[in-house]
Amino acid sequence: MVASKRRLRTGNRKKTFARKQHVGRKISSTSPVHSFQTDVLDHAETEPRAYCHVVPVLQLVSKHFQIKPNKLQIWDPYFCKGTMVKHLADLGFHSVRNVNEDFYKVQQTGVPDHHVLLTNPPYSSDHLERCLTFCVESTKPCILLLPCWVAKKPYFSKLFGCRDNHIFFIASLQRYNYTMPADLVPESCKPSWVGDDGQTSPFQSCWYVYLPPPFKPGIFFENLKCNMAKSGPFDCVLAKRLQSVKWKLKKTRAQGGQGRPEAECHDQEKRKRKKHRQKCERPAVPGTVEFD
Ligand SMILES: C[S@@+](CC[C@H](N)C(=O)[O-])C[C@H]1O[C@@H](n2cnc3c(N)ncnc32)[C@H](O)[C@@H]1O
């Protein structure tokens, strides 16, 4: 109800973005027929909790583009059943595109207008490499839900080696669950580790946030850290390096499971105050002039 009211209030550009999406969703309303070749084991939808963890990132990206979060055009180019559109609408993001179209054909014919790409790509074949190649060439922020092992792949260092300071990570204290839809993944194809309800959590995955130039990843990261310290979510950790992700997860779990980014933010402010105090108290050396 609220979602449809908001949809009515949005402008023309949003209409085009949403209309195309409707075409895709019509084809795939109950049992989607994909308009591209698929591997049955790639069909796994992301759980809502994972999207909660990137809300502060999406809010900061909206601020960067000087638009309200509900107008932020979020594009997920990999389509399973489109459930992610509802998950993001529940979080206040109403301009989300995830439709039944071949991402690779779209790359040839023209990508839709978007402010940010957000996806959980398929892992089979060379999809991960193709997805990352698209992202590194993009001028838009890309938020990717990937297994932690992806960062150790040679193709990852080849693509992002010189841009690794443009990436940071958000990882959940509790592993994310993925759902393999029963109508897309027949019982006979389900791997043994998938539950009867289609849920699976086979490895630690985390969000890789890539901010291309002209974004200033350092400033963005510090703002994000402070925002998350104030308002959460507290069941995930934020880190610049994957090694730190592992260390922070371990430390936070050992402390009882609640992420304490507020402590980090306070530590940072304390350090700044101490540095400032030291600077002020430093005895002036006769004959020298200090510049700020
Ligand atoms: C891991 S699922 C994630 C779906 C959705 N992005 C999400 O997060 O819930 C990956 C999906 O990519 C889709 N896919 C595979 N090849 C594709 C292509 N060429 N274009 C668009 N989607 C594709 C598959 O149908 C599969 O369901």
CA 1 to ligand 1 centroid distance, Å? 28
Q: What is the DSSP string of 61-92?
A: HHHHTTS-GGG--EE----SSSHHHHHHHHTT
Choosing from 51, 79, 98 the residue with most ligand 1 atoms within 8 A of its CB, the one to mutate for a pocket test is 79
Give yes or no for residue 47 CB within 6 A of ligand 1: no
Q: What is the pLDDT of residue 280?
A: 53
- Order of strands across the sheet that contains 178-179: 45-46, 178-179, 199-200
Cα 125 to the center of its chain, rounded Å: 22
Instruction: Please name the residue whose Cα sits nearest to atom 19 of ligand 1.
Output: 102
Q: Is 78:261 a contact under the CB 8 Å cutoff?
A: no
Give yes or no for residue 45 CB within 6 A of ligand 1: yes
Q: What is the pLDDT of residue 7?
A: 37
Q: Is 21:98 a contact under the CB 8 Å cutoff?
A: yes
Q: What is the pLDDT of residue 158?
A: 96
Q: What is the pLDDT of residue 15?
A: 34
Which ranges of the chain have pLDDT less than 70? Answer: 1-32, 257-292
Residues 38-64 as b or e (16 or more Cβ within 10 Å = b): eeeebbbbbbeebbbbbbbbbbbbbeb
Q: What is the pLDDT of residue 29?
A: 37
Choosing from 49, 53, 80 the residue with most ligand 1 atoms within 8 A of its CB, the one to mutate for a pocket test is 80
Q: What is the pLDDT of residue 33?
A: 83
Instruction: Please name the residue whose Cα sits nearest to atom 23 of ligand 1.
Output: 78
Instruction: Please give the DSSP secondary-structure letter assigned to residue 291.
Output: -
Q: What is the pLDDT of residue 276?
A: 59
Instruction: Please name the residue whose Cα sits nearest to atom 7 of ligand 1.
Output: 45
